[in-house]
Amino acid sequence: MPSYSNIIVDYRTITLRVNLVIHNTDPAHKITIVRIDSYNTNGKLVDKILPESIDLDPLAAIRFTIKDPQKGDMGAGANFIVQWRADHKVTEPLIECIIAGSQGTEGHTFTSQGKIIQEETD
């Protein structure tokens, strides 16, 4: 899941706040969010966001506000690894970052979507 803690606009760096949102898109089955790990631009583990697994009911969503906009230190290539599982075959959850920041009267908001990088089966 790509994320951005800052962007450069007109030679100025604008610090951003990241909202990681996970939607269980399955109408019948829950999913379990197992872990959310945060990595910086250099691929170094920065933080384990989720202290314990949580269940997400059918069609439910959850948001994690990740970045303290005062720091902005994770760089342009920061990312998250979100691991989830289900007891039944389910539709793939929608995992997005909603990224926003402002400076003066300028506001910047955009999104990025997660991509499955590894799938495990029993």
pLDDT at 2: 85
pLDDT given for residue 11 in this prediction = 83
Number of neighbours of residue 26 by Cβ within 10 angstroms: 20
Q: Please tell me the predicted confidence (pLDDT) of residue 62.
A: 96
CA distances from residue 97 to 29, 40, 80 in whole angstroms, order as listed: 23, 15, 10
Q: How far apart are CA 19 and CA 41, in angstroms?
A: 18
What is the pLDDT at residue 103?
83
pLDDT tens series, the chain, 122 aa: 888 878 888 888 888 888 999 999 999 999 999 999 988 888 889 889 898 999 999 999 999 987 565 555 566 678 899 999 999 999 999 999 998 888 888 888 888 888 888 887 76
The predicted pLDDT at position 66 comes to 74
User: What residues contact residue 102 under an 8 Å CB cut-off, 6+ apart?
Assistant: 14, 108
Instruction: Please check whether residue 81 is in contact with residue 39, taking contact to mean a CB–CB distance below 8 angstroms.
Output: yes
DSSP state of 98: E
Closest CA to 122 of 92, 86, 95, 81: 86
Q: Which two tokens stand for residue 69?
A: 């906009």
98 DSSP β-pair partners: 19, 111
pLDDT of residue 81: 93
pLDDT value, residue 77: 73
Widest CA span in the chain: 52
